[in-house]
Amino acid sequence: MVKEVKNLCRWFVAIAKFLACTMEKQPITALFRKETLARRSYFQLNLPRRADYYFAFWKKHPEVSWALLANEVSRNTGWLMSDIIRASRLAPYGMKIPGFPPAHYQAFFVFLEMGNFLIFRDMFPQLEAYDWAKRYPEYSDELFNSLRADPQFEVDPFIISHWKTFFKQAQANQWFPNWWQEPDVQRQAFAQIANEQNQIHDRLIHDPEHKYLGFFMSRVISQIFLASASLGLTKLCFPLAKSETNPTAEHLLVYTLTDFKSFENRVNIGRDLYVDLFGQERRRNRVIAWANANPHCRGTRVEYNPHNFSLHPRQAAKRKKYSPPLVHWQDHPPAWPLDATKMRCYAHLHDPPVPLPVTTPKRGPMVEALLNPLSQANLPAVEKPLTELAEVVIGNTPALQFSLLLQNVISKLSHNRQGVTPLRL
């Protein structure tokens, strides 16, 4: 028996020496790179996976409150995608936008997909570096520095600096157990908001290369989205549980988007949402209660409102609106391909983006001001009942206004493009 124990101990020692030699031959940054690239490839495939990753990360590291906000906003993007799919399919039910060809719906879907993808692609290695730094604090600087040195990551030095500072602050404060009370936590979240909006500003919102949608579609879709936001026709909604102990959604916190073209305004939208969702204790607890009860994103409004929405298109005639899922759920297949690169004309979507045109600080001196603490939203969200459907492209009077806007934009651009006949109502 003693001999067997000694042999077992020798075996464990040999394993430990082997692992130590492996670590010496392969620096921790190399291990981090290998694992992070593999995991990013999996999670970046579609929006529901990205949203689920954000929520799982926040559950593990609640002091990184941006991850919870990113989960909530990603869910909203998925619901907007579901609205677009429904509008493209259900002409018999009077939900299709007049003069809006199927290819335009697909391009609108891709526009939303790319915004979510570009942010995730950049943010994923940052979040992973923070996770690794907590496990291996003696290598924290090396891990964060690798985000800039590695061309597969190429993270903005602006946010790397903030990560290093925040990690040391969090480590010194027991990882901020009451994160919602901490100015340092809020500042880090605001820095991440500024970073993410800079990621899409010159790559998607103002894309001089028309990399993702092509020249014509890029102009059409960006103008439609920006104009719809300017007219107050695009809304974000956040389900609020009845209470901390009853996670059933009873109300929605509705935020109406304004000018989406401006970098500063988009960052302010993120700041407002952060304060609206997390600033008040009862509201924060209700937001978290619903999220905990619904940890997986399906990309359908049925998730929070099964009374007004359905996975079944035929129930649209029974006072329920069709809201298709983005992933397989309850025996319903995904409405569009799980992998957006499988769509015709869009195989290039998940290719590495162009190098970041402008680092965040070069947006101007207002960047530093945008990181300052905020106690009250500039444009507060409004708590409304579930009957406030908060959809895009679907509505009553605004829908007519929106469809006329679409028609005018499409007709104008089509008229200016040689060989394309303007669309007519």
Is the predicted pLDDT of residue 196 greater than 80, yes or no? Answer: yes
The mean-pLDDT minimum among 24-33, 250-259, 260-269, 315-324 falls in: 315-324
pLDDT at 55 over 90: yes
What's the CA gap between 98 and 104, in Å, rounded?
A: 12
In angstroms, the CA 349 to CA 207 distance is 14
Instruction: Give DSSP secondary structure letters for 218-287.
Output: HHHHHHHHHHHHHTT--EEEEEEESSSS--SEEEEEEEE----S-HHHHHHHHHHHHHHHHSSHHHHHHH
In-domain check, residue 295: yes
Burial of 344: CB neighbours in 10 Å, binned 0-12, 13-18, 19+: exposed
Higher pLDDT: 345 or 125? It is 125
In a domain, 383, yes or no: yes
In a domain, 13, yes or no: no
Q: What is the pLDDT of residues 66-89, one digit of tens each?
A: 999 999 999 999 999 998 888 777
Helix 102-135 to helix 214-230 angle (10° resolution) is: 80
Distances from the Cα of 12 to the Cα of 28, 235, 265, 373, 418, angstroms: 22, 58, 58, 51, 74
Q: Which residue has the higher pLDDT, 57 or 223?
A: 57
> What pTM does this model have?
0.85
Question: What's the structural domain count of the chain?
Answer: 1
Query: Domain range spanning residue 236?
Result: 44-415
Half-sphere exposure of residue 242, counting CA atoms within 13 Å on the CB side? 5
Within a domain: 154? yes
Tell which residue, 196, 193, 166, 202, has the closest CA to residue 182: 166
Residue 82 falls inside a structural domain: yes
314-365 residue pLDDT tens: 766 567 888 999 999 988 888 888 888 887 778 888 999 988 999 999 999 9
Tell me the β-bridge partners of 241. Answer: 249
How distant, in Å, are the alpha carbons of 236, 237, 297, 300, 387 from that of 73?
A: 8, 9, 11, 14, 20
* 22 located within any domain: no
Do the domain assignments include residue 30? no
pLDDT averaged over every residue in the chain: 83
- Lowest-confidence segment of 41-45, 48-52, 131-135, 258-262 by average pLDDT: 258-262
Residue 322: which H helix or E strand, with range?
strand 321-322
Point out which residues pair with 309 in neighbouring strands.
321
CA distance 278 to 368: 22
Q: How confident is the model at residue 398 (pLDDT cuts 50, 70, 90)?
A: very low
d(CA 396, CA 88): 18
Tell me the mean pLDDT in the region 58-69: 98
Distances from the Cα of 9 to the Cα of 1, 3, 14, 229, angstroms: 12, 10, 9, 66
Tell me, yes or no, whether 384 lies in a domain.
yes
